[in-house]
Amino acid sequence: MSFVEYGDTIKDGDTAIVFLGHESMFPVKVQHGSVTQTKYGVIRHSTDLIGKKYGSKVTCSKGGWVFILHPTPELWTMNLPHRTQILYSTDISIITMMLELKPGSIVCESGTGSGSLSHALIRTVAPTGHLYTVEFHQQRAEKAREEFREHGVEHLVTVTNQDVCKNGFGVSNIADAVFLDIPSPWEAIGHAKSALKAEGGRICSFSPCIEQVQRTCLAMEESGFTEINTLEILLRVYNVRTVSLQIPDLGKAAEDNSSTGFDSSSPSHQGSSCADLQQGTVQFKSGVPLREVVGHTGYLTFATKSLV
């Protein structure tokens, strides 16, 4: 396996995702002789994982079972160890498209943070592209390097430990796209411009606060970026549920039982307790929004560097 190439069977050294159930999963590094504890019991890597197909059901020692999944940047985003705030797949997807990334693209990113976006960028630009990522926090930079090595993508990424606002990306005139997720992106716009190819490219800056966006847009305009566009994308997830609504008793029951017009089809599945209380219920499937959703992650400002 690697994060940029599917494999069929689980091998020693792979990073696999143990799926216990909805919203409950974690990554595991597969190693001969190693064991992993889950709430369903122990998973023995040598016998339970290595050589099995990705997507298999694995029975744990207590009889419960889990699925073992092939890693993807999206699964990694949901399960990675946080060292910073991270970008989630909803923002990542619009960033990738609006930066026009594809195999062969050269991308600059700062900061690396926990590597959530980095993995997605590497996946998209592989096998011929490259990611230059800059992280001013030494420990985080090292940790990211280690993860890229473990995930089999180190040849596609260069991690530099420096301050992007002072020292830039360490490359010039080679990038097709630049992404900034730092507290003061306006200080890095000049460096971003020189990292981009002479004939142009795309830039994106992610900021949670509108004041940051304001300053960034001004800096972009001063640096000659065009097509400056700020947007926000929000994910809405729906639970699929069967809902039953009671038919109100308007006193018609005594006179005419069939007058509600609903009772012909629906009440067959209803709970017996309901049936005792009133004449009937109507059942339907509904996509119910979650009680609480993410209302804001950050503003995404995109722009184009064009020639001259």
Partner 1 sequence: MEGGPSARIREGDCAVLKRDEVFKAVSVLRRRKIIFEKQWFYLDNAIGHIYGTTFEVTSGGNLQPKQEVEETTTETKEAGTDNRNIVDDGKSQKLTHDDIKALKDKGIKGQEIVQQLIENSTTFRDKTEFAQDKYIKKKKKKYEAVITIVKPSTRILSTMYYAREPGKINHLRYDTLAQMLTLGNIHAGNKMIVMETCAGLVLGAVMERMGGYGSIIQMYPGGGPVRAATSCFGFPKPFFDNLHEFPLSKVQSLLSGTFSTETLPADPEENALGEEESNGLSEEKQTALQETGEEPAAEAPMEINPTEEQDTMDISAEDVEFKETKEKENKENVREKHIKQWERRKKLKEAAALLREKNADGLIVASKFHPTPLLLSLLEFVAPSRPFVVYCQYKEPLLECYTKLRERGGVINLKLSETWLRNYQVLPDRSHPKLTMSGGGGYLLSGITVVLEKGKSDSSNSEALKMEEPSSKRCKLQDLPC
Q: Footprint of partner 1 on residues 147-166 (CB under 8 A)?
A: none
State yes or no: residue 277 binds partner 1 (CB under 8 A). Answer: no
Q: Which residues pair with 5 in a beta bridge?
A: 2
CB of 77 to partner 1, least distance (A): 10
State yes or no: residue 232 binds partner 1 (CB under 8 A). Answer: yes
CB of 233 to partner 1, least distance (A): 6
Residue with tokens 């039982």: 257
Question: Residue 210 or 250: which CB sits closer to partner 1?
Answer: 210
- Contacting residue, 131, 213, 247, 303, with partner 1 by CB under 8 A: 213
Backbone angles phi, psi at 129, to 5 degrees: -90, -175
State yes or no: residue 222 binds partner 1 (CB under 8 A). Answer: no
Question: Residue 93 or 172: which CB sits closer to partner 1?
Answer: 93
C-alpha span between 300 and 94 (Å, rounded) = 9
- Contacting residue, 38, 112, 124, 297, with partner 1 by CB under 8 A: 124
Stretch that binds partner 1, among 139-147, 208-216, 261-269, 272-280 (CB under 8 A): 208-216
Provide long-range contacts, Cβ within 8 A and 24+ apart, for 17-20.
17/68, 17/69, 17/70, 17/71, 17/75, 17/79, 18/43, 18/66, 18/67, 18/68, 18/69, 19/66, 19/67, 19/68, 19/69, 20/66
Question: Residue 52 or 137: which CB sits closer to partner 1?
Answer: 52
State yes or no: residue 117 binds partner 1 (CB under 8 A). Answer: no
Question: Residue 74 or 150: which CB sits closer to partner 1?
Answer: 74
The CA-atom distances, in angstroms, between 92 and each of 15, 32, 62, 118, 233 are: 22, 34, 38, 10, 10
CB of 301 to partner 1, least distance (A): 7
- 237-276 mask for partner 1 (x: CB under 8 A)? xxxxx-----------------------------------
C-alpha span between 43 and 109 (Å, rounded) = 37
Backbone angles phi, psi at 39, to 5 degrees: -70, -15
CB of 208 to partner 1, least distance (A): 13
Query: Which residues in 45-104 contact partner 1 (CB under 8 A)?
Result: 53-57, 65, 67-70, 72-74, 89-90, 92-94, 96-98, 100, 102-104
DSSP letter for 155, please. G
Question: DSSP strand E in 3-120: where?
Answer: 15-21, 24-29, 35-38, 41-44, 57-59, 65-69, 106-110
